[in-house]
Each structure stands twice: as structure tokens, then as C-alpha cells.
Structure 1
Amino acid sequence: MLEILLKNLKEAIEADKQKESLGLTPAEKVKEMLKSGNAIFVDVRPPNKVVGKTAPEAGIPNSYYLPVTEFADRCQEVFPQDKNAVIILGCAKIKFSNRVMGYLEALGYKNVYVLDEEIEKFIENFQ
């Protein structure tokens, strides 16, 4: 099990090196990725950090709400089986998104990105 975890992490680190800013992605790029229909967006804020609407409630396309605190129990509901799927994570201060990015990479996902701004601002400006 440890060997698989280390292999996944090494592969994820190599994949991250190929991404601009190691996967920390500006809002405009995230919008493009979502509008192309080739990515999912996951709002990972814990319930007590949600101000206003969650991403799905706000109408962000291909979005889900999965609080970081429920990741282990519900990740199979949200994340595709395809480990090459493009996944973008958002939260209030980036901290929880980075944590979930690490979880996903440990599980073998290769194309995980983090929104480089507070999700409330992203939701407010999404068009």
C-alpha cells in the first residue's frame, strides 16, 4: 500500500511540475476550463465556511459541493474513476483546496488544479 501511495505521489509531483504555478490556477483560466466542458469544479469549503451559495447553488457548470470534512465518506460520489479527469478545487482561502488536491493525488489523480482566489469572489464574478 505504501509503495502505491509513493508511486502516486511521485507521478503527481511530476505532473504538477508541468502545470503553470504547480496547478494554482487564475480565475479566468478556471472559467475557460469549465466552459469547455472538460473539467469539474468542486467547492470543498466546510459548511461553517460557506458564505452565500455553494458552487452548484450558484450555477457554476459541472460543479459539486463536497466539504473537505466529508471527503473520505463521499469522494466516490463526486470524483470520476478516470484518474486523468480534470478537477478544479475551490475554497475560501485555498488551504482546504490544497489539502484535497493532496488527497486526490495520493489516490492517483493527475490533473488536479486549485482556484487561485477566494471562491466567493469567483462565484460572484462567474459569467
Structure 2
Amino acid sequence: MDTILPSEIKERLGRGEKLTIVDVREDEEVAAGMIPGAKHIPLGQLPERHEEIAKADEIILVCRSGNRSGRALGYLESLGYKGLKNMTGGMMEWED
């Protein structure tokens, strides 16, 4: 499984890169804040909503700790998505 560090994402966003980020946390978790520009699709809704994820060279998956986003990565991989990366440490490692 490919991973990416929160600091790397921040640096790239800071340079103005447009990243494809999917946040798979629940509504109440996202209400506390999320990465600017991320798309919110709770893990349990991925089977119905995965087509909302634009096919891109790189798709970054985010959750609270990295566990659910890892499961999301495996699921999307099974559907043929490429370029998937799991943000290590999840939002617990993301500092404003």
C-alpha cells in the first residue's frame, strides 16, 4: 500500500497543487474540520458513491488514524482504481 505523509500533502497544497483527496470519516468527524478541497465520502457509502471519485493519477485517502482509509484503499483497488495513497496517521497527525 502506497502511503503519503500529512506534511507532504500540506507542502503540496501550499504550492497550489490540486490534489484528489477523499475523506472517508463519518459526518460528525468531518464537522470538526477537514483538509481543504477534500471530498467527503464516508467509508460505508463508498460502494454507492465511488463513481464520484474522479479517476486521477493520484488519489489520497484520509480518515482519523489511517485504518479506515486503508480499508477504503483496498476496496477501491479491487474496483480497478490506480494511484491510491493512504495518508499515514490520518487526521490525528494533521495539524492546522
How many residue pairs match? The answer is 94
TM-fit CA distance, 1:104: 1.2
Q: Does the CA-based 8 Å contact 1:51-1:120 persist in structure 2?
A: no
Q: Does the CA-based 8 Å contact 2:65-2:92 persist in structure 1?
A: no
Match of 1:53 in 2: 32
Between Structure 1 and Structure 2, the one with more helix by share is 1
Match of 1:103 in 2: 75
Match of 2:42 in 1: 67
Cα–Cα, structure 1 residues 33 and 104, in superposed 2: closer, same or farther, change >3 Å?
A: farther
Pick from 46, 56, 63: which aligns with 1:91? 63
Match of 1:115 in 2: 87
Q: Does the CA-based 8 Å contact 1:40-1:86 persist in structure 2?
A: yes
Percent identity between the two aligned chains? 28
TM-fit CA distance, 1:87: 0.7
Q: Does the CA-based 8 Å contact 1:88-1:115 persist in structure 2?
A: yes
- Please tell me whether residue 27 in structure 1 is matched to residue 11 in structure 2: no
Secondary structure of the residue aligned to 1:98 is helix
Q: How high is the TM-score relative to the length of structure 1?
A: 0.63
**1:46-93 superposed Cα distances (whole Å, 9 cap, x missing partner):** 335x164342xx6x13x111000111111112x11x3x5311011112
**1:17-45 superposed Cα distances (whole Å, 9 cap, x missing partner):** xxxxx4121112122444411x2111101
Match of 1:76 in 2: 51
Distance 1:90 1:75 in 2: 15
Structure with greater Cα Rg: 1
Q: How high is the TM-score relative to the length of structure 2?
A: 0.80
Pick from 7, 31, 36: which aligns with 2:17? 36
Cα–Cα, structure 1 residues 96 and 117, in superposed 2: closer, same or farther, change >3 Å?
A: same
Distance 1:89 1:105 in 2: 12
Runs of 4+ residues deviating >4 angstroms: none
Q: Does the CA-based 8 Å contact 1:85-1:109 persist in structure 2?
A: no
Secondary structure of the residue aligned to 2:20 is strand
